[in-house]
Amino acid sequence: MVSATVVRGTAVAAALVSLVAVPAHAAHTAPLEPGATRGDASARALPKPDVTGLWTALRTVRRQGAPGAMARLDDHGAVHWAATGIADRGTGRTISNTDRFRIGSVTKIFSAVVLLQLADEKKLRLDAPVNRYLPGLLPDDRITVRHVLSHRSGLHDYTNEMFARTVPGFEAVRTKVFTYRQLVERSLSKPRTTRPGGAYSYSNTNFVVAGMLIEKLTGHAVRTEYKNRIIDPLELRDTFYLHPGTKIPGRHARGYLTPDAAGAALVDSTEQTVSWAQSAGAVISSTRDLNTFLSALLGGRLTSRAQLDQMQRWVPSGTNQQYGLGLRRRHLSCGISVYGHTGAVQGYYTYAFASKDGRRSLAALANTSNNGTVHNSMLGTLESAFCGKPAKKRRAN
């Protein structure tokens, strides 16, 4: 099944239907990153997006096992969206960019923004020990807030053991409700991965600690701080933190978890507490809201310039990637860099990235997970959205 793709009044391909473009949410231009110049690839004007290529990437993801896939591209006032496949295997309902979904680790940007706002308010110092604010929580007073937000604390990721067997691990925690401290204790039962401030080592434990910091410093639940500081000011109509509720409100895409055994039937994983992740991965949103959020963040509307600069102090985090404070930078094949996060929660893969100034943003979803081929192919949505059409190869003489 195919739903409409919208491109400012122009058909992308014969199979696509054109509708009226929707005004994108405005974002202010952010300054260049420290050390960048106007000649840098990441700072130059972006190529025209390849919306046909975006469509092709989504169809590829479907062929590789996702029941449905969708994407929304906001670009300087124009909105393009594409969706293919189904949101619900039971009813056969077509997936749509109006569907809400679980965004997994994209939640980490929300948590980081709240803490950076608290730094702006002088309630938090990034280079202060976590134990200053949460006495006795961690076994090492050298672990700072910055180390936690940049995955350089050395705190073991408890989800490694929790989901060593994908489906049984999920079913064991689907309806459980954990406290933050219980999750941290799971981490502390294992050796640390690096010294404080050492190499990047991704761990959900870090952003569980971030949630604890938010609640201690504000006296409010994470839900309240997300709502008051981000969701309400940006008018994010589809964004919620419902922990420990299990249902996604309103129209939504169902999520399908891929078992470890090849060929095994997908498992409907839509309803769950996501208590195993909380402030590390439990937010629900939509492609529209994610683009609005990233545009606002990179456009300088959610933190001061100083804190946005702190968020973009990068450390190596893998091939063609760097990590800041809850924010990832990916380097694409054309030399362009994009800023955001990926999210993987049972049944959902999310890509949410924007240009340096926030004026072009892309949110894409495949409603499956534990399928590495699908996850890797989702990168094609970024290439099409920010690099445009691939250069044609010259024919040999």
pLDDT tens by residue, the chain, 397 residues: 333 333 333 333 323 322 223 333 333 333 333 333 333 444 458 999 999 999 999 999 999 999 999 999 999 999 999 999 999 999 999 999 999 999 999 999 999 999 999 999 999 999 999 999 999 999 999 999 999 999 999 999 999 999 999 999 999 999 999 999 999 999 999 999 999 999 999 999 999 999 999 999 999 999 999 999 999 999 999 999 999 999 999 999 999 999 999 999 999 999 999 999 999 999 999 999 999 999 999 999 999 999 999 999 999 999 999 999 999 999 999 999 999 999 999 999 999 999 999 999 999 999 999 999 999 999 999 999 999 998 765 444 4
| Domain ranges, residue 159 | 51-387
CATH of the domain at 320: 3.40.710.10
Rounded CA separation 388/390 (Å): 6
Domain assignment present for residue 296? The answer is yes
Domain assignment present for residue 23? The answer is no
Those residues with Cβ within 8 angstroms of residue 121's Cβ, 6 or more apart along the chain or in another chain: none
Domain assignment present for residue 34? The answer is no
Active site residue 369: no
Domain assignment present for residue 284? The answer is yes
Give the count of domains, the chain.
1
User: Active-site residue among 42, 105, 279, 286?
Assistant: 105
The burial of 139, by beta-carbon neighbours within 10 Å (0-12 exposed, 13-18 middle, 19 or more buried), is given as exposed
DSSP element (H, E) containing 364: strand 360-366
Domain assignment present for residue 6? The answer is no
Domain assignment present for residue 1? The answer is no
Domain assignment present for residue 374? The answer is yes
Domain assignment present for residue 182? The answer is yes
CA-based nearest residue to 276, from 355, 344, 351, 361? 344
